[in-house]
Amino acid sequence: MIFSTPMFIFGFLPGFLLLYYVVPRSGRSPVILLASAVFYAWWRLDFLALVLAMAFGSYVCAAMANRAASAQTRKAWVSLGVIGNLSVLGYFKYTNFVLGNADALWQALGRGEVTSPEIILPIGLSFLTFQCISYVIDVARGDAPPARNIWDFLAFSTLFPQLIAGPVLRYKDLADQFQTRSHSLAQFLMGVRRFALGLAMKILIADSVAPMVDRLFTLQDPTLVEGWLAASAYSVQLFFDFAGYSAMAIGLGLMIGFRFIENFNAPYISQSVTEFWQRWHISLSTWLRDYLYIPLGGNRGGAVKTYRNLLLTMVLGGIWHGANWTFVLWGIWHGGWMAVERALGSKSGAVWSRHIGSVGAWGFTLVLVMLGWVVFRAPDLATAGQVYAGMFGLNGLALRGEVWMLCKPTEWLAMWLGWAIALWPMMSAARVNLRLPQAPRFGTLLLLLSAVLVMQARSDSPFLYFQF
């Protein structure tokens, strides 16, 4: 089940909210767990057992680490929790990647074939793994209290608003909210508005641009205009798809009293790659900083080790997104530029504006980000290479007539509207999260109705981050 379907909006969600507000407060965590189990089992019932097992194992490891009488015992339980979660992720997400590369090497040496098993990646597994790891580590460190009971932690681990595609939550940020959280009509309506905005971002913009993206990334020998058009369209699609999901998740959380971390803050107005990662997928970038970059040594070991840590963090962040060399190169691209910015003397990433001005820094950063999105989107390195060849003018310059004819007016409109909205904070000098001019009071209803009408006319379109 996904948010952008009539089944969820008119069936699952009203039923869940009714049950949630009818039961006593003490029974709301079990209701969340039950609803989350139904939501996940709608896709695959067998993988629900895996999700619950990972959550339960992390709960036990954290509890034992918290009660450990010695540092050595505590470390053993933490190691078990971290390695156990990573092992599950590694098996489902990276087994075929490793065996596929081994097979290519083995065949190149003339040694036969390496057979890969058929493994289906459970949706949401990457997000669940990070959340379970952070819980075990935080409880062992004393940074977070252990969950009051197993119901609270299982409800947190399977929380359906964000289980599939984030934001990446940490129990320490929600622990107090599981004990006591406020419910009010004003907060509920705020949640409805955020959900409606996210649904509109997904249906009206991301899904409208998606056919253009798919078409452009399969072109043979794209021209310069076609290559940059592909990168531009995908930049809009990915942002509105993922930011739309995050807005919907935050809205659903508000409806039941939770306040989740904001996951986006106008990333396309950034003036450096470092600043981009302070604005894009904020929950992931802060997780990587706190549980990977800082434990690696952060910036404490001198300049060279700092650059190494930045590069390793982003490469591992790239691999987290998917088992493909494209994601490795994407991580190297971002980590490399962050290291360059640090080497030029900027911890905050404001280095480019000092040399080429704020407008030049914004344009330069946006080009770097769009170049990175090409390899992120491409199914393989060969496809990425074709798009890059086009972007650098190796296949001609102009937009070909047949490509122009295939692109529908609604696709062009959605792309340019998406860019206008994404860049609105810069144009309005409002360096804030995505906000449009004050909408009329019926704006939420209008957005919701428009999105639902378009949604009814289209087939289901899963969110892009489901595949990660």
Chain length of the chain: 468
**pLDDT at res. 263:** 93
Cα dihedral 154/156/161/167 (nearest 10): -130
Give the separation between CA 29 and CA 171, rounded to whole angstroms: 14
Give the separation between CA 53 and CA 33, rounded to whole angstroms: 14
DSSP string for 333-345: HHHHHHHHHHHTT
The pTM is what?
0.90
Give the separation between CA 406 and CA 431, rounded to whole angstroms: 37
- 293 in a domain, yes or no? no
- Based on the fold, state whether residues 226 and 267 are members of the same structural domain: yes
- Based on the fold, state whether residues 139 and 203 are members of the same structural domain: no
Q: In sequence order, what E strands does 239-369 have?
A: none
Domain end: 181, 200, 216, which one?
Answer: 181
CB 245 within 8 A of CB 202: yes
- 289 in a domain, yes or no? no
- Comparing C-alpha atoms, which of 167, 154, 87 is closest to residue 124? 167
Give the separation between CA 336 and CA 340, rounded to whole angstroms: 6
- 390 in a domain, yes or no? yes
**pLDDT at res. 437:** 45
- Based on the fold, state whether residues 39 and 145 are members of the same structural domain: yes
Give the separation between CA 212 and CA 235, rounded to whole angstroms: 12
Chain centroid to Cα 58, Å, comes to 22
- Based on the fold, state whether residues 12 and 119 are members of the same structural domain: yes
Q: Fill in the DSSP letter of residue 143.
A: S
Nearby residues of 347 by Cβ (< 8 Å), 6 or more positions away: 274, 299
| Helix, strand, coil share of the chain (percent; to 5) | 70, 0, 30
Domain end: 126, 159, 181, which one?
Answer: 181
- 150 in a domain, yes or no? yes
**pLDDT at res. 308:** 94
- Based on the fold, state whether residues 232 and 147 are members of the same structural domain: no
- Based on the fold, state whether residues 142 and 211 are members of the same structural domain: no
- Based on the fold, state whether residues 123 and 214 are members of the same structural domain: no
Return the number of other C-beta atoms located less than 10 Å from residue 27's C-beta.
14
pLDDT in tens, the chain (468 residues): 788 788 888 899 999 999 999 999 888 999 999 999 999 888 888 889 999 999 999 999 999 999 998 999 999 999 999 999 999 999 999 998 888 888 778 777 777 777 778 888 888 899 999 999 999 999 999 888 899 889 999 999 999 998 887 799 999 999 889 888 889 999 999 999 999 999 999 999 999 999 999 999 999 999 999 999 999 999 999 999 999 999 999 999 999 999 999 999 999 999 999 999 999 999 999 999 999 999 999 888 889 999 999 999 999 999 999 889 999 999 999 999 999 999 988 766 678 888 888 899 999 999 999 999 999 999 999 999 999 999 999 999 998 888 898 889 999 999 999 999 999 887 765 444 444 444 455 677 787 787 778 877 776 666 666 565
- Based on the fold, state whether residues 106 and 76 are members of the same structural domain: yes
- Based on the fold, state whether residues 223 and 109 are members of the same structural domain: no
- Based on the fold, state whether residues 251 and 397 are members of the same structural domain: yes
Give the separation between CA 278 and CA 115, rounded to whole angstroms: 42
Active site residues: 321
- 35 in a domain, yes or no? yes
Structural domain including 194 reads: 188-271+350-467
Question: Tokens standing for 145?
Answer: 């209290």
- Based on the fold, state whether residues 156 and 198 are members of the same structural domain: no
- Based on the fold, state whether residues 129 and 59 are members of the same structural domain: yes
Return the number of other C-beta atoms located less than 10 Å from residue 398's C-beta.
11
- 396 in a domain, yes or no? yes
- 360 in a domain, yes or no? yes
If one counts the domains in the chain, the total is: 2
Angle at 344 between CA 327 and CA 301, to 5 degrees: 75
- Comparing C-alpha atoms, which of 144, 439, 442, 77 is closest to residue 290? 144
Residue 129, Cβ density class (10 Å: 0-12 exposed, 13-18 middle, ≥19 buried): buried
Question: Tokens standing for 203?
Answer: 């249906």
Domain end: 143, 166, 181, which one?
Answer: 181
- 307 in a domain, yes or no? no
- Comparing C-alpha atoms, which of 468, 130, 74 is closest to residue 292? 130
Question: Tokens standing for 343?
Answer: 């080497």
CB 367 within 8 A of CB 227: no
**pLDDT at res. 7:** 87
